[in-house]
Structure 1
Amino acid sequence: MQAQDKPADEANTAPDPVAEVAAEIADTIAAAESAPVADSAPTLEEALRAAELKAVEHHDAWLRAKAETENVRRRAQEDIAKAAKFATERFARDLLAVKDSLELALASDTLTVDSLRSGTEVTLKQLTAAFERAALTEINPLGEKFDPHRHQAISVIESPQEPNTVVTVLQKGYLLADRVLRPAMVVVAKATA
């Protein structure tokens, strides 16, 4: 009730924040109503055109990025296909020398046992060198413990050797970069009872 006790002049002189905001809003509305519509229209049209140009620019950039991504994917697939197709090219090139040596031996009219043996030894050296360059290593486990991951037991025989030892190698095995290409076929010693 103290507000009623104040004189009327003091209540009218204090600033009223609500009235001030209302007055500002009224002034803004009056200014907007008095301004011609034609003045604000070109700026909206210009803003719309600018937004459309930016949208077209971004769409173009997106299409280019998408096309580049597709090109990279396509080139990668082609490279993978070529790598798979020509993976053995170096090894095949090394084997050509072996084939040439064998053809020369067969084309010779004067074959003797000694010349045939020496030619076969040279050809085997060429083949072994090609295997080494291709990381193709031989498995010859004679006298070693039987390894089911690298050896294939054809039979088991009684032997004075320790049980599970390779007694005979029937066919050598081969590793290609530490991966078994062909297991060695072996005969294994069995435990005597």
Structure 2
Amino acid sequence: MNNNENEENVSNNISLNNPTIDQENSIEQENTSMESVLNIRISELEEQLIQYQDNIRDLKLRNQAEIENIRRRTEIDIEKSHKFALERFAIELLPVIDSLERALEVTNLETTNKENDLLKSMIQGVDLTLKALLDVMYKFGIKVIDKTNIPFDPSIHQAMSVVESDDIAPSHIITVMQKGYMLNGRLLRPAMVTVAKIK
């Protein structure tokens, strides 16, 4: 029996010191399972990294686009402020121009007594002053709205009266009572006009 016991002990020792095939398979499966879990986790992390990189790229592009939009808006605002900085000043000058024009209408140079040189000189001075003022206004982009026999345009004309006319087509300007003005395409004051009536 001693021999049998010895063999059993040896057999048990061998089995303890050397894992069996089942144990090896179990360890391999655990390693494979662990490797699989790690690979899945690595894949998930790589996908998250790609998403974060895409998000960062997207944010960067959006920020660049927003900066470009702000730059464009600022340029447009600056351009508008340059164009229309004179608007209030020009509007304040319009009554001065109107007064000079009325003075010339009342004292028409051709109907003035030729003997009154002082009055003639004053009228010429008013005329030259008006021309100089209008020249300066033209240089800064101010245009006069004073044409007759053109279609009535409510965006630049204000109809003060409507009359029948044989000479002017219906809905066309017969006379301009007060000139209108535009600054770089923006209306400062509409022209006050008489419009031909539709018969």
Q: If the length of structure 2 is used for normalisation, what is the TM-score? A: 0.45
Q: If the length of structure 1 is used for normalisation, what is the TM-score? A: 0.46
